[in-house]
Every structure is written in structure tokens, then in C-alpha cells.
């Protein structure tokens, strides 16, 4: 991981089931579990029947 300060965000994502890490720095994180851009998240939320979102957390 190029920026060790980012590790905490990735670890939070790993610790939560069905979570997404939304970032503008895709190259700084492994692609798994769910590392996506803000535009990709908006596409998910804009679906007629988006997947169930239980809770949105901002870190």
C-alpha cells in the first residue's frame, strides 16, 4: 500500500461484511473486497432496485 495512512480505511472495509471502500485513489488499494470510485457507487445507488444498503458509514 503506497500510503500507510490509507491502511486504516482498508482495514475497516475488510472488517465489515458487504462493505465498499469509495475512493478516488483506486491504485492505492487492492481491488478486493469492494474498492470503487464515487461514480461507481452512484451507479449502484441509481439502480431502480439497488442492493439493500443496511448502513452507510463515513470514516
Residues 51, 34: contact at Cβ < 8 Å? no
Whether the bond between 28 and the residue before it is cis, its omega within 30 degrees of 0, is: no
| pTM more than 0.75 | no
pLDDT at 52 over 70: no
The domains of the chain are located at 4-45
- pLDDT for position 38: 93
Q: Is the pLDDT at 39 greater than 70, yes or no?
A: yes
Backbone angles phi, psi at 41, to 5 degrees: -65, -40
Q: Which residues pair with 36 in a beta bridge?
A: 22
Q: Residue 47 corresponds to which cell in the numbers above?
A: 439502480
Q: Is 36 helix (H, G, I), strand (E, B) or coil?
A: strand
Amino acid at each position: 500500500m503506497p500510503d500507510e495512512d490509507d491502511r486504516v480505511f482498508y482495514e475497516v472495509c475488510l472488517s465489515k461484511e458487504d462493505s465498499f471502500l469509495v475512493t478516488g485513489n483506486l491504485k492505492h488499494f487492492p481491488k478486493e473486497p469492494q474498492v470503487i470510485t464515487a461514480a461507481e457507487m452512484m451507479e449502484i445507488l441509481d439502480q431502480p432496485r439497488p442492493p439493500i444498503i443496511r448502513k452507510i458509514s463515513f470514516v
